[in-house]
């Protein structure tokens, strides 16, 4: 496994995503992921599958301290007390005593108040790390904080490599993570990526994940297929040559495929 540095802590660069999974699917998929070696799991209140994730964690027999679990506050959380209530609910559904990482899911007019609530939970030890999701550099610059954000989860894949945000995050020492790194499968039919996959006798998904991790980006690929779950995890073993990295860098269109954080419409 490759690792990223989170304020001196080594964290697996490849995690497991659960977006759009039901509780039932999340339970089986997360258990498969844990059985093949994943130790970092990403969920969110909005996904409505924290209970399934929690059941998988319990069934795995792994100790809480062996895992790194992330969840996210939805846009209806707009106060410090709202943060506390939301996190209490997440912990109950997940069956955990603490969260490893708590993120604001999308920027809202209440960022400062929500962040203050997150800082308080971090100070108490209820949450170990705090960060953001879908925040652009100007959102981070505008955020009033005592504890600097440690993480930003953002749209990032071969067709939208988000170089401006990535460079900003890396310069500031904030972990950059790609959600939907495979573009919900949309990047896997690209002829350049398929050619690189044939060259190394691996899956196109492994090529994309290896490319992103080589760029220093954390990833959370999602699948409910046990074979694909295992294949994605092994992407950490693949080392692409510089010519392959250059070829994939050239695929960047600079255009988003999903919502603009400045106009996301969730609040």
**Residue 29 contacts residue 18 (beta carbons within 8 Å):** yes
Residues 193-226: pLDDT tens digits? Answer: 999 999 999 999 999 999 999 999 999 999 999 9
Could you tell me the strand order of the sheet in which 68-73 lies?
16-17, 40-42, 68-73, 99-104, 127-133, 151-155, 175-179, 218-219
Tokens of 64: 């809480």
CA proximity to 26, closest of 15, 38, 13, 17:
17
Cite the active site residues.
Answer: 47
Give just the sign of the alpha carbon dihedral 100, 114, 166, 17.
positive
pLDDT at 236: 87
Asked if pLDDT for residue 267 goes beyond 90, the answer is no
Strands 151-155, 9-12: pairing kind = unpaired
pLDDT, tens digit, 9 for 90 and up, residues 69-119: 999 999 999 999 999 999 999 999 999 999 999 999 999 999 999 999 999
Per DSSP, the three-state class of 42 is strand
At residue 1, does pLDDT exceed 90?
no
Is pLDDT of 263 > 90?
A: yes
Its CATH architecture, for the domain 3-253, is: Alpha-Beta Barrel (3.20)
């Amino acid at each position: 496994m490759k690792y990223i540095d989170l304020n001196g802590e080594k964290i697996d660069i490849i995690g497991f995503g659960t977006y759009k999974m039901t509780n039932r699917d999340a339970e089986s998929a997360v258990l498969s992921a844990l059985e093949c070696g994943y130790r970092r799991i990403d969920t969110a209140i909005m996904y409505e599958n924290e209970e399934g994730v929690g059941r998988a964690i319990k069934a795995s027999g792994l100790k809480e301290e062996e895992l790194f679990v992330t969840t996210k506050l939805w846009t209806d959380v707009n106060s410090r007390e709202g943060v506390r209530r939301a996190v209490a609910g997440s912990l109950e559904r997940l069956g955990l005593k603490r969260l490893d990482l708590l993120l604001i899911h999308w920027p809202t007019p209440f960022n400062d108040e929500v962040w203050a609530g997150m800082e308080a939970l971090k100070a108490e030890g209820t949450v170990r790390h705090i960060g953001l999701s879908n925040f652009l550099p100007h959102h981070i610059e505008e955020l009033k904080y005592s504890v600097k954000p440690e993480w930003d989860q953002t749209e990032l894949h071969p067709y939208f490599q988000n170089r401006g945000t990535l460079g900003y995050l890396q310069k500031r020492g904030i972990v950059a993570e790609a959600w939907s790194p495979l573009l919900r499968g949309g990047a896997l039919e690209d002829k350049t990526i398929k050619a690189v996959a044939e060259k190394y006798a691996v899956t196109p998904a492994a090529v994309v994940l290896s490319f992103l991790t080589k760029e220093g980006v954390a990833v959370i690929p999602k699948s409910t297929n046990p074979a694909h779950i295992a294949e994605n995890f092994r992407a950490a073993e693949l080392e692409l040559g510089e010519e392959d990295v250059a070829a994939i860098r050239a695929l960047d269109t600079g255009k988003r495929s999903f919502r603009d954080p400045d106009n996301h419409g969730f609040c």
